[in-house]
């Protein structure tokens, strides 16, 4: 006993010293970021639709959606549920995939033991997107399930009996937004698998080109023909121009094929290259495209791409307090604040852009120009770090917004599967209405959706840990996807 007491006292002194030392620099150690990285990827297992593999680690989930597509004679089994419901929405699924792939492309070298898990998370989606894109010529399947019907129930994915309607875009009812985002996802993923599985990579890239061609030739927004089931959930508010340029940019990055370079050069101006826009999300790809294309200017000094570097600077400057073009809103506790619903999606996506741009700048000795001031890569990194640390618990509420990370994290996550008893604990069916007692109960979720980052606090840093407050307590795949890259970056930083 005595030695245990001594050890514990010693450990306390050691910790106190380390904590004091680390207070000056960081709330978290590289190990903390590694731990959060592992969890951020694990979350995707909780969102899986289809037949789960033997190595599934989030073991409270079971198989679901095994006949998706069958009534339409297509195989649409697999993919991800977008958030706390059981719908497979194509636009956010594709965007999630693009950002997960981008995370791996830029920061995979820092992922160490997690690289295979990250690739598996990308592949779970691309296997599905490949099926959706190739099942029927001239068609892209873009959604499974009627969200209005799905939302009337509170059901586990394993039990769901709501209509699994299938929605598609075609040459007659085009959807350049969802199709070009799908092309972006397939192209970005082809880079991820280039070395480890080159036949798969080639298939992804080839399919990306075909889907992009379809998106570009048959122009229109999927909200026009599918408004009743994609709006207001994932309505294409920003239109499809942003996705066309984003899709072409990703195929260019993946293939280095000069046709896409020519496409970007001749269509950039009409597809949003000259716009300044400060919100990067599943709807609006413009800031991401600017950063992605700025690499060509920074690396090759290609004059044609200077435009994208300037607009990337404008985006970055909008986020950095004190610059003449600063225009973001931050909470008193320092969190980037864009919207009352699912705000953290904007924070994680901005963090990935800050870090990616910092990487491109520092590889080339560049800086961002904000009016008369020069902003260095270090400033971008420290801004991203503030946001990442806030999410992980360095905030006024001393609360982590990642489920299962830290001492205090959301317990009442707005997520059907997580909030209902697991199929292994409660094998009997829970029907559509049986679930509402769990939705409305004050008890913590019985299944911990490890790694999920929820919508997050309001503009005053307040967070209601309430399952019915989906604006704050719902996770989403596109909140996590860019966070994976940001966490990988910080896990590899020394001190
Ligand atoms: C480049 O892309 C175009 C358009 O998709 C395609 O027709 C052409 O075959 C590609 N070239 C190569 C070398 O892959």
Read off the pLDDT of residues 399-419 as tens digits, 9 standing for 90 and up: 999 999 999 999 999 999 999
Which atom of ligand 1 is closest in space to residue 213's alpha carbon?
5
Q: What is the pLDDT of residues 101-144, one digit of tens each?
A: 999 999 999 999 999 999 999 999 999 999 999 999 999 999 99
Residue with CA nearest ligand 1 atom 11? 257
pLDDT in tens, 443-490: 999 999 999 999 999 999 999 999 999 999 999 999 999 999 999 999
Residue 349 CA to ligand 1 center (angstroms) comes to: 31
What pLDDT score was predicted for residue 296?
87
Residue from 259, 262, 267 whose mutation best tests the ligand 1 pocket (most atoms within 8 A of CB): 259
- Domain extent, residue 247, equals 28-491
Higher pLDDT, 388 or 298: 388
CA 249 to ligand 1 centroid distance, Å: 14
- Domain membership of residue 5 (yes or no) is no
**pLDDT beyond 90 at 18:** no
474 is catalytic: yes
Does residue 11 belong to any structural domain of this protein? no
| Residue at 9 is within a domain | no
Whether 193 is in a domain gets the answer yes
CA of 254 to the centre of ligand 1 (A): 12
Q: Are 97 and 153 in contact (CB under 8 A)?
A: no
Q: How confident is the model at residue 303 (pLDDT cuts 50, 70, 90)?
A: confident
Rounded to an integer, the average pLDDT of 336-353 is: 98
CA 190 to chain centre: 18
Q: Please, which residues have CB within 8 angstroms of residue 255's CB and are 6 or more apart in sequence?
A: 187, 205, 209
Q: Has residue 290 got a pLDDT over 70?
A: yes
Pocket test for ligand 1, best of 202, 203, 209 (most atoms within 8 A of CB): 209
CB 392 within 8 A of CB 36: yes
Mutate to test the pocket of ligand 1, among 257, 264, 267 (most ligand atoms within 8 A of CB): 257
Tell me the average pLDDT across 339-368: 95
Burial of 54 (0-12, 13-18, 19+ CB in 10 A): exposed
Give the residue whose CA is nearest to atom 13 of ligand 1: 257
Closest to 208 (Cα-Cα) out of 134, 136, 111, 113: 134
Nearest 10 degrees: Cα torsion 45, 359, 351, 338: -130
Nearest C-alpha to atom 10 of ligand 1 is from which residue? 257
- Ligand 1 shell residues, CB under 6 Å: 209, 257, 259
- Would you say 384 and 359 are in contact if contact means Cβ atoms under 8 Å apart? no
In terms of DSSP bridges, do strands 166-170 and 139-144 run parallel, antiparallel, or are they unpaired?
Answer: antiparallel
In CATH, what number is assigned to the domain containing residue 240?
A: 1.50.10.10
Is 248 contained in some domain?
yes
From the centroid of its chain, how far is CA 366?
27
What mean pLDDT do residues 187-203 have? 98
Count CB neighbours of 410 within 10 A: 29
Which residue has the least CA distance to atom 5 on ligand 1? 209
Closest residue by Cα to atom 4, ligand 1, is 259
Q: Which residue reads 């716009």 in tokens?
A: 275
| Residue 24 pLDDT exceeds 80 | no
Which string of DSSP letters, residue by residue, matches 393-456?
Answer: T-STT---SBTTSSSS--SS-S-HHHHSPPTTT--S---TTTTHHHHT-SSPPSS--TT-BBS-
DSSP class of 141 = E
Residue 441 domain flag: yes
Q: Which two tokens stand for residue 113?
A: 């033991």
Neighbours of 147 (CB within 10 A): 22
Which residues, including other chains, have CB under 8 Å from residue 55's CB and lie 6 or more apart?
Answer: none
Alpha-carbon span 481 to 486, nearest angstrom: 9
- The catalytically annotated residue of 241, 311, 412, 414 is 414
Distance 134 CA to ligand 1 centre (A): 19
Contact of 310 with 324, CB cutoff 8 Å = no
The question of whether 426 is a catalytic residue gets the answer no
Share of the chain above pLDDT 70, in %: 95
Helix (H, G, I), strand (E, B) or coil at 335: coil
433 assigned to some structural domain: yes
Q: State mean pLDDT over 233-252.
A: 98
Residue nearest ligand 1's atom 1 by CA: 257
**Which residue's alpha carbon is nearest to atom 12 within ligand 1?**
257
Residue 398, judged by CB atoms within 10 A of its CB (0-12, 13-18, 19+), counts as: exposed
Angle at 253 between CA 249 and CA 259, to 5 degrees: 65
Q: What is the mean pLDDT of the chain?
A: 94
Q: What ligand 1 atom has the least distance to the C-alpha of 260?
A: 2
DSSP state of 112: G
Residues 280 and 272 sit within 8 Å (Cβ to Cβ): no
Tell me, what's the pLDDT at 25?
Answer: 53
Give distance in angstroms: CA of 260 to centre of ligand 1: 9
Q: Which of the four pLDDT bands, split at 50, 70 and 90, describes residue 301? A: confident
Task: Look up residue 149 and give its two tokens.
Answer: 């019907």
Token pair belonging to 67: 């006949």
Cα(259) to centroid(ligand 1), Å: 7
- Nearest in space to 174 (alpha carbons), one of 131, 224, 209: 224
249: Cα separation from own chain's centroid: 19
Q: For residue 370, list its beta bridge partners.
A: 373
Residues above pLDDT 90, as percent of the chain:
90
Contact 97, 125 (CB under 8 A): yes
Q: Give the residue whose CA is nearest to atom 7 of ligand 1.
A: 259
Asked if 140 and 129 touch (Cβ cutoff 8 Å), the reply is no
Q: b/e for 30-52, b at 16 or more Cβ within 10 A?
A: eebbbbbbbbbbbbbbbbbbbee
Instruction: For residue 276, report the distance from its CA to the centre of ligand 1, in Å.
Output: 31
Query: What local confidence, expressed as pLDDT, does residue 433 receive?
Result: 96
Please tell me the predicted confidence (pLDDT) of residue 495.
57
d(CA 296, CA 400): 37
Q: Is the peptide bond before 403 cis (omega within 30 degrees of 0)?
A: no
At 302 the pLDDT is 83
Q: Which of 155, 159, 242, 474 is catalytic?
A: 474
pLDDT value for 365? 81
| pLDDT tens-place string over residues 313-325 | 999 999 999 888 8
Average pLDDT over residues 295-321: 92
* Nearest atom, ligand 1, residue 212 CA: 5
Give the Cα separation of 257 and 380 in Å (integer).
31
Q: What's the CA gap between 402 and 127, in Å, rounded? A: 27
414 is catalytic: yes
Cα of 257 vs centre of ligand 1, distance in Å, is: 6
**What ligand 1 atom has the least distance to the C-alpha of 209?**
5
Please check whether residue 6 lies inside any domain of the structure.
no
**Could you tell me the pLDDT band of residue 167, with boundaries at 50, 70 and 90?**
very high
Q: Report the domain count for the chain.
A: 1
Please tell me the distance from the alpha carbon of residue 17 to that of residue 221, in angstroms, as a whole number.
Answer: 58
360 CA distance to ligand 1 middle (Å): 27
């Amino acid at each position: 006993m005595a030695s245990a007491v001594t050890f514990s006292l010693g450990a306390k002194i050691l910790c106190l010293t380390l904590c004091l030392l680390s207070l000056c620099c960081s709330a978290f150690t590289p190990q903390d970021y590694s731990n959060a990285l592992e969890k951020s990827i694990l979350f995707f297992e909780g969102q899986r639709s289809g037949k789960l593999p033997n190595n599934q680690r989030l073991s409270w989930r079971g198989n679901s959606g095994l006949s998706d597509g069958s009534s339409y004679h297509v195989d649409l089994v697999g993919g991800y549920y977008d958030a706390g419901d059981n719908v497979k929405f194509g636009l956010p699924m594709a965007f999630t995939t693009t950002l997960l792939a981008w995370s791996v492309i830029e920061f995979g070298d820092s992922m160490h033991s997690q690289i295979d898990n990250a690739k598996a998370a990308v592949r779970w989606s691309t296997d599905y997107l490949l099926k959706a894109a190739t099942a029927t010529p001239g068609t892209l399947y873009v959604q499974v399930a009627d969200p209005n019907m799905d939302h009337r129930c509170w059901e586990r994915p394993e039990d769901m009996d709501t209509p699994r309607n299938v929605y598609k875009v075609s040459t007659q009812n085009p959807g350049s937004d969802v199709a070009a985002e799908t092309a972006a996802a397939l192209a970005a993923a082809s880079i991820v698998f280039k070395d480890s599985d080159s036949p798969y990579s080639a298939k992804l890239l080839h399919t990306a080109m075909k889907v992009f061609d379809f998106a570009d030739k048959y122009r229109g927004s999927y909200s026009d023909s599918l408004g009743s089931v994609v709006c207001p959930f994932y309505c294409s508010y920003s239109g499809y121009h942003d996705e066309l340029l984003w899709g072409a940019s990703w195929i260019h990055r993946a293939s280095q094929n000069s046709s896409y370079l020519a496409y970007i050069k001749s269509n950039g101006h009409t597809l949003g290259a000259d716009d300044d826009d400060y919100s990067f999300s599943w709807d609006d790809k413009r800031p991401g495209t600017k950063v992605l294309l700025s690499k060509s200017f920074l690396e090759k000094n290609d004059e044609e791409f200077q435009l994208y570097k300037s607009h990337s600077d404008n985006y970055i400057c909008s986020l950095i307090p004190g610059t003449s073009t600063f225009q973001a809103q931050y909470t008193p506790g320092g969190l980037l604040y864009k919207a009352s619903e699912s705000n953290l999606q904007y924070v994680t996506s901005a963090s990935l852009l800050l870090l990616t741009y910092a990487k491109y700048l520092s590889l080339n000795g560049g800086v961002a120009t904000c009016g008369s001031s020069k902003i260095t890569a270090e400033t971008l990194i420290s801004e991203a770090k503030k946001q990442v640390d806030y999410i992980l618990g360095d905030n006024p509420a001393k609360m982590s917004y990642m489920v299962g990370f830290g001492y205090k994290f959301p317990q009442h996550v707005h997520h059907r599967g997580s909030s209902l008893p697991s199929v292994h604990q409660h094998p009997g069916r829970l029907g559509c209405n049986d679930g509402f007692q769990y939705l409305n109960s004050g008890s913590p979720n019985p299944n911990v959706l490890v790694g999920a980052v929820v919508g997050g606090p309001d503009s005053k840093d307040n967070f209601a840990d309430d399952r019915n407050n989906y604006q704050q307590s719902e996770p989403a795949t596109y909140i996590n996807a860019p966070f994976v890259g940001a966490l990988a970056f910080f896990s590899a930083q020394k001190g």
